[in-house]
Amino acid sequence: MENDISQSSFLDFSITPIKEPHEILEKCNGSNQQKLLVVYNKNDESEERLEFLKKILASAKFDIEDDILLLKVTPKIAFSFIALRTKVAQTHPSGGIDNLLVFGFEPKHFGLNLQVHKYVPFHFYESGFLFADGLSMIENDKALKGALWNGMKELFLK
């Protein structure tokens, strides 16, 4: 096709289809009483890693069932964090998301065009963010555990 811009050099980046916020919200578990969305890679899931995640959250005084929205997704499922946050504020009994804790994904996966350093919390668009490596990488690395703990203290335990 002559005018197909997807075949030209005009688009020099990959296009990722994003899921609608209601589709993502349906995949979430938890009551979200503390307005924290925790996202981890479904491909990184095991019973041991879920227990490890529970310990991580408990160290910052979060209960995995009551205090957070837990979302496990594959790298093929991308979505807009801002659109999801708006949807949760409009429809979820908790009334919103104040913070995002991510294991194993980059900001662009959530529609955020940001350059960030892992384990360094930051605020953007009225939300706190903390990006970390996947649970499987952190689980057996004392330095990464320490970096994660320091980032969580700064973001959640002020």
DSSP, residue by residue, 46-96: -HHHHHHHHHHHHHTT--TTTTEEEEEE-TT-EE-HHHHHHHHHHHSTT--
28 part of a folded domain: yes
30 vs 5 pLDDT, higher one: 30
Give yes or no for residue 131 having a pLDDT over 60: yes
pLDDT tens-digit series, residues 62-73: 999 999 999 999
Record the pTM: 0.88
pLDDT tens-digit series, residues 74-126: 998 899 999 999 999 999 888 899 999 999 999 999 989 889 999 999 998 88
Q: How far separated are the first and last CA of the chain, in Å rounded? A: 57
Residue 121 belongs to domain spanning: 15-156
2 part of a folded domain: no
Q: Is 140 helix (H, G, I), strand (E, B) or coil?
A: coil
Residue closest to 76 by CA, chosen among 117, 34, 19, 139: 19
The token duo for 50 is 């879920």
Overall number of domains in the chain = 1
9 part of a folded domain: no
Q: Is 135 helix (H, G, I), strand (E, B) or coil?
A: helix
Q: Given pLDDT bands bounded at 50, 70 and 90, which one contains residue 2?
A: low
pLDDT at res. 80:
92
3 part of a folded domain: no
130 part of a folded domain: yes
Give yes or no for residue 56 having a pLDDT over 60: yes
Domain of 133, CATH number, reads 3.40.470.10
Gap between the Cα atoms of 71 and 109, Å rounded: 13
